[in-house]
Amino acid sequence: MVYTRNGKGYVHDNRAASVEMLQRLAGEVGFSLTASDDPGQFTEANLAQYDVLIFSNTNNDVFDTDAQRIAFRRYIESGGGFVGLHSVMGTERNWTWFKQMLGGTFSWHARNQSFRILNMRPSHPSMEGVPAVWEKKDECYFAKELFPGIEVLMVHELSSLDGQQEEKVREHAGHYKDYYPTAWYHAFGGGHVWVTTLGHDIFNYSDPTFTKHVLHGIRYIVGKSAQRDPHNAYATQPDTPLKFH
């Protein structure tokens, strides 16, 4: 399922294009896809049918009730898969568990411009087709509350930014210096998560390199989430303490 709900605040104009890209991939590769912006879809019974939930440019609060949040969390705990695109980083900014699951939460982005992205893990299955150095026009995202378990796949080369916002870049880069995470994956809370901060402009969703980037991320997560067990879900509240085991 691809989910595109936006709460109050900035709404990206790329959501329809992202759904069209995923529908095109579904036809080409051979998987079924449901697109929705209805938080009522988030029940344990309904989510059980999906191998992966794709949050494409969601932003701000995207659930109406804590029951929906708990259903989503229990899906992940059961071994479910999650793929997040671009402004997903600004989703559910007040929900601690969700931010940990994402790997962080949105802090700031540099102005939309061309900059260099470096492929740190070319042997990883989700990096197939991603160049070693990707010169790309996009928003260079920064995050806060970074979760220590993420496995970084690509990084922004901060020296390739135009320098017009250097002070803000250094402020939001925090303890990072020359390079900052662009995309990552991790096993989290029983489930499997893959996130890319790229994808602001509509043209991305017809760009072959970006399309492959997303497709291979989806394939990787689907492969990891094939064996799900609802008995592993344990949350009774949105922020039930994590179990590390």
Could you tell me the pLDDT band of residue 144, with boundaries at 50, 70 and 90? very high
The domain spans of the chain are 2-107+143-154+181-232
What per-residue confidence (pLDDT) applies to 37? 97
Does the pLDDT value for residue 244 go beyond 90?
Answer: no
Residue 105 contacts residue 90 (beta carbons within 8 Å): yes
Does the pLDDT value for residue 70 go beyond 90?
Answer: yes
Q: For the segment 207-236, what is each residue's pLDDT rounded down to a tens digit?
A: 999 999 999 999 999 999 888 999 999 999
Residue 178 contacts residue 170 (beta carbons within 8 Å): no
Please report, rounded to a whole number, the percentage of residues in the chain having pLDDT higher than 90. 96
Neighbours of 34 (CB within 10 A): 12
Q: What's the pTM?
A: 0.97
Kind and range of the H or E element at 151? strand 151-157
Does the pLDDT value for residue 88 go beyond 80?
Answer: yes
Radius of gyration for the alpha carbons in the chain, expressed in angstroms and rounded: 17
Q: For the segment 96-143, what is each residue's pLDDT rounded down to a tens digit?
A: 999 999 999 999 999 999 999 999 999 999 999 999 999 999 999 999
Residue of 148, 90, 153 whose CA lies nearest to 125:
153
By the 10 Å C-beta count (0-12 exposed, 13-18 middle, 19+ buried), 244 is classed as: exposed
Residue of 216, 214, 224 whose CA lies nearest to 57:
214
What per-residue confidence (pLDDT) applies to 161? 98
Q: For the segment 159-179, what is each residue's pLDDT rounded down to a tens digit?
A: 999 999 999 999 999 999 999
234 CB contacts (<8 Å, ≥6 apart)?
74, 77, 240, 243
The owner of tokens 């998987």 is 31
Q: Cα separation of 139 and 147, whole Å?
A: 21
Residue 54 contacts residue 218 (beta carbons within 8 Å): yes
Give the E-state strand segments of 1-150 in sequence order.
2-3, 35-36, 52-56, 81-85, 105-109, 113-119, 133-138, 141-144
Q: Cα separation of 56 and 156, whole Å?
A: 21
Q: What is the DSSP string of 10-48?
A: ---TTHHHHHHHHHHHIIIII----EE--GGG--HHHHT
What per-residue confidence (pLDDT) applies to 226? 80
Please report, rounded to a whole number, the percentage of residues in the chain having pLDDT higher than 70. 100
Which option is the CATH number for 2-107+143-154+181-232: 3.40.640.10, 3.20.20.80, 3.40.50.880, 3.10.20.30?
Answer: 3.40.50.880
∠ CA 151-118-159 to the nearest 5 degrees? 115
